[in-house]
Amino acid sequence: MIEAKVRQHLEKVVISPSASINEAISQLDKAGTGALVLCGTDWKLWGLLTDGDIRRALLKPLNLEQPCGTIANRNPIFAPFPLSAAEALHLLNQHDIDHLPVIDDRGELQDFLLRRDLITEDEFAIKANDRLDSVIINPSTSIAEAIARLNEAGTGALALCSGMRMLEGLLTDGDIRRAILQGISLETACEKIASRKPVCVCGSVAPSEALHLMNQQDINHLPVVDADGRIVQFLLRRDLANEQSLGLSAVVMAGGFGKRLLPLTEQIPKPMLPVGNRPLLELTIQQLRRSGIREVNLTTHYLPENIISHFGDGAAFGVTLNYAKEDHPLGTAGGLKLLKRANGPFLVINGDILTGVSFQEMLDYHRKHGAELTVGVRKYEVKVPFGVVECNDVRVTQLQEKPTLNLFVNAGVYLLQPSVCDYIPDGQRFDMTDLIQKLLEAGRPVVSFPIMEYWLDVGRPEDYLKAQEDVRNGKI
């Protein structure tokens, strides 16, 4: 019998082999696990579908409405139930895999383990438990005392608890800053300014699930309570996110005029247009920070002071920001010559792109294929409203009635080796398409990386309206 908590986890990652590839892409994006388990109605293991399988499929002329079972691994590595975390990690490392279905003697799925969870589980649990005493505070404690406790804890938030550690609310440093700005007395009970219904989870939670929830809700603190509402752990996103360097710096091209969005961009540069309640560029920098990228370079040209005054040195946004001002427009690649040469691979992203792509997976893909430049691509369908006639000279060879053409479009996201900058001229307008063409002519390896996650180019008024709608619907 599968425990209710495990069953809830499995429902997020189990999919029918008959579900379409499109459905699998959507579910994988929501699950955040990098793979889905294919099972029949009886929960018997049928196969495993990874994001790598999907990306390879996207590079082929496949119909995304065909069953996902057609591109899945029918014979994945699995483990018998039960097994210890040490045994599971040994098996994952032995086969160099990141996902492990666990089945019983009837072949029914009992669990789905991720290597990233097993590696960090012990340290994660110890940290979360050990900090409890330092973050628990009585709701009647004054704001002044809460400030002192928060400074000692260094957690950015405190858990308001009554007797028996019953969770009553969450007090963040942001709550305190707002209270100070509003002139609220520091002798006021901290419960008056705290969130009385914070996001929390009940029961045990895997690191990947906790991080996924935090990213989804855009929160940095997650109390874990038992069935009675008593706090048992206090999780911080900084513990769960990969805080060590991803091995990447990033360049955001933020110098465009945004002419297609006039009159919105008459006084505001396109990257600073509000999407929801934050500038578009702030959402991009947030995505970079969440991915473990801490050094971000911005190339600017049009109204750069708007950008610099908002972001400053980047410290308030969790990154280090450097600026390179283009005296005249240098295109989507020319501005790279204004920057200090990177020591390793670096990411370049257009300033009008919103995406949920995994930069870690893109980097792994880039390295695996020995690329000097990796270009993110997006599948795009063109529906021809007429019958198409194919000819060989004067002879008709084939007729297609209103066909749909599947094309790959440039997604405005790139990974580059420092050496490619040698192909960029100084002080001249030079686009990324020019750079790619030069590399191809020189026989240098350029590869494509299919982006199946959320992606939107905010270049036209209708795209900007869609971005606002997607924010309201929680897609961004």
- With respect to residue 442, please indicate whether it lies within any of the assigned structural domains: yes
Per-residue pLDDT at 244: 47
Q: How many domains does the chain have?
A: 3
- With respect to residue 36, please indicate whether it lies within any of the assigned structural domains: yes
Residues 233, 338 share a domain: no
- With respect to residue 120, please indicate whether it lies within any of the assigned structural domains: no
Span between the terminal Cα atoms of the chain, in Å: 37
Residues 36, 13 share a domain: yes
* 60 vs 186: CA distance, rounded Å: 63
Per-residue pLDDT at 124: 58
Residues 395, 294 share a domain: yes
- With respect to residue 289, please indicate whether it lies within any of the assigned structural domains: yes
- With respect to residue 82, please indicate whether it lies within any of the assigned structural domains: yes
- Encode pLDDT of 336-373 as tens digits: 999 999 989 999 999 999 998 888 888 988 998 899 99
Give the DSSP per-residue string, 306-365: HHHHHHTTSGGGTSEEEEEE-SS--HHHHGGGGSPPPSS-EEEEETTEEE---HHHHHHH
Average pLDDT across the chain, whole number? 88
- Encode pLDDT of 168-177 as tens digits: 999 988 788 7
Residues 331, 455 share a domain: yes
pLDDT at 458 over 90: yes
Strand partners of residue 113 = 100
CATH number of the structural domain spanning residue 214: 3.10.580.10
Query: What confidence category does residue 119 fall into, taking pLDDT thresholds of 50, 70 and 90?
Result: low
Q: What proportion of the chain, given as a percentage, has pLDDT over 70?
A: 95
- With respect to residue 344, please indicate whether it lies within any of the assigned structural domains: yes
- This prediction has a pTM of 0.67
Residues 274, 229 share a domain: no
C-alpha 115: how far from chain center = 19
* 17 vs 66: CA distance, rounded Å: 10
Query: What confidence category does residue 303 fall into, taking pLDDT thresholds of 50, 70 and 90?
Result: very high
| Amino acid (1-letter code) at residue 266 | E
User: How would you label 35-52 residue by residue, b for 16+ Cβ within 10 Å and e otherwise?
Assistant: bbbbbeeebebbbbbbbb
